[in-house]
Amino acid sequence: MEHTRIKELLNATEFGQEVIVKGWVRTFRNNQFIAINDGSSINNIQAVVDFENTDDALLKRITTGAAVRVKGTLIESLGKGQKVEVKVTELDVIGDSDPEKFPLQPKKHSLEFLREIAHLRFRTGTFNAIFKVRNALSFAVHRFFNERDFVYMHTPIITGSDAEGAGEMFRVTTLDLNNPPRTENGDIDFKEDFFGKSTNLTVSGQLEGELAALAFGNIYTFGPTFRAENSNTTRHLAEFWMIEPEMAFYELEDNMDLAEALLKYVIQYALETCPEEIEFLKNRLLEEEKNKPAADRSEMDLIEKLKFCLENEFERVKYTDAIEILKRSKPNQKKQFKYLIDEWGADLQSEHERYLVEKHFKKPVILTDYPREIKSFYMKQNEPDALGRNTVRAMDILFPGIGEMVGGSQREENLDKLLARMAEVGIPAEEMEWFLDTRRFGSVPHSGFGVGFERLVLFVTGMTNIRDVIPFPRTPKNAEF
């Protein structure tokens, strides 16, 4: 007889049937009530043991964390908190758990402590809920693009190019670090390395995605990316996942429409498929916020915040207009912003993005047409404005509590403009001939964007630290597990 998953049993309407449950003990009360969880649900099933007729030695082995198999009759529960329970006829301990050593005893643990035991934190209700939502969002991303006939493209993880021009990359090498080969002028000779050149972990699949889009029309990538940015914050990871679609014959408006549709689709899917998990996370967040001063608490609970994004059209605002709003804003006038907005050309910080979304427009915002100097080389250049200022056809989508959720642009399809911009920022054209060929042979207007997947999971789960929404976070001085 096969075991039945607990999620299925909790929804059962027929009682009296014999069932087998396998899972891990969450609690064991009064030598009688075992709360068992098998990961299929954030909720446990209660198994009731006839302790008077059960071997004492066996009962002592039923400890938090132990893996058990119970066979018994599924009955309606008379106790509070559950509709069903199992009246046990057979009980086996599959794997023991020493209660003196098992760190997840049945009490409230801090998120900081759980990060230290990330290999075991999956067994808590909070992390069960987070990673179920992450799973649903991941599936929804693929479903969204599949329904729209996009081709899923696997772009390389090891690359010889820096897509963002950021320079903060992890080097990949097999050279002897104690005695690397050197050139005549003393530099490390990467021609002797495995790939015959200097290589790194990718910061983005975008450039390779563009190559595919200019053949298939519409493609997307969804994979790990890496930044060697020495940022120890609640918003940064060294290894994270990116969703990056690239579309031929798309201009900026089309790009914005697709990005807004994607975000609404995946949020809706999570709400529909993970109602228990999101309700649990909503209540967790409400409890957490009780410890904050009233002024720092969210105006909306988690579910209201998610519906707020679904029910509002995203406000589309040019960077130039946003700068004027921010310059006149109360936090700027009263010098409450950490980074004051004095003039056009400022690179917006999270505090500015959140002000626009949460205080001014009170809805998600798409900012467009940023100054050329603060954006990447590949973005399409606009004609200079009336004051001679240069902007690019960039767009960022800003969300409440998060700031930037999406960054994208129409790409520069004009070869001469692209070459000139690359020369300005010091990117050698000879290293990018493969990329420039797409502008030489049948170039077309095209666009794309990137969504930091962990930021999306952070938003949908209501968590406040990005290290809590990826299974094994990679951060400065931390690569455990």
C-alpha dist (Å) from residue 143 to 146, 405, 466: 5, 20, 24
| pLDDT number for residue 168 | 86
CATH at residue 15: 2.40.50.140
Do 32 and 148 lie in one domain? The reply is no
| pLDDT number for residue 242 | 97
Do 78 and 214 lie in one domain? The reply is no
List pLDDT tens digits, range 372-412. Answer: 999 999 999 999 999 999 999 999 999 988 889 999 999 99
Mean pLDDT computed over every residue of the chain:
94
Do 137 and 60 lie in one domain? The reply is no
User: How far apart are the C-alpha atoms of 66 and 48, rounded to whole Å?
Assistant: 16
**Residue 236 lies inside a defined structural domain of this protein:** no
Do 335 and 425 lie in one domain? The reply is yes
Do 144 and 19 lie in one domain? The reply is no
Cβ 68 vs Cβ 30: under 8 Å: no
pLDDT at 164 over 70: no
**Residue 174 lies inside a defined structural domain of this protein:** no
Strands 403-411 and 391-399 turn out to be antiparallel
Do 44 and 140 lie in one domain? The reply is no
CATH at residue 449: 3.30.930.10
Give 431's pLDDT tier (boundaries 50, 70, 90).
confident
**Residue 460 lies inside a defined structural domain of this protein:** yes
C-alpha dist (Å) from residue 147 to 54, 152, 312, 371, 452: 55, 12, 23, 35, 21
Residue type, 84: V
**Residue 109 lies inside a defined structural domain of this protein:** no
Phi, psi of 6 (to 5 degrees): -65, -35
Do 80 and 215 lie in one domain? The reply is no
Give 166's pLDDT tier (boundaries 50, 70, 90).
low
**Residue 114 lies inside a defined structural domain of this protein:** no
Do 30 and 134 lie in one domain? The reply is no
Give 235's pLDDT tier (boundaries 50, 70, 90).
confident
**Residue 220 lies inside a defined structural domain of this protein:** yes
In this structure, the dihedral spanned by the alpha carbons of residues 104, 108, 110 and 113, taken in order and rounded to 10 degrees, is: -20
**Residue 158 lies inside a defined structural domain of this protein:** no
Do 59 and 134 lie in one domain? The reply is no
Q: Calculate mean pLDDT across residues 299-312.
A: 93
**Residue 34 lies inside a defined structural domain of this protein:** yes
- Which has the higher per-residue pLDDT, 231 or 212? 212
pLDDT at 329 over 70: yes
User: How far apart are the C-alpha atoms of 300 and 292, rounded to whole Å?
Assistant: 15
Do 245 and 366 lie in one domain? The reply is yes
**pTM for the structure as a whole:** 0.94
Pick the last residue of a domain from 70, 93, 116.
93
Domain, as residue range, for 13: 4-93
Looking at the structure of the chain, the number of domains it has is 2
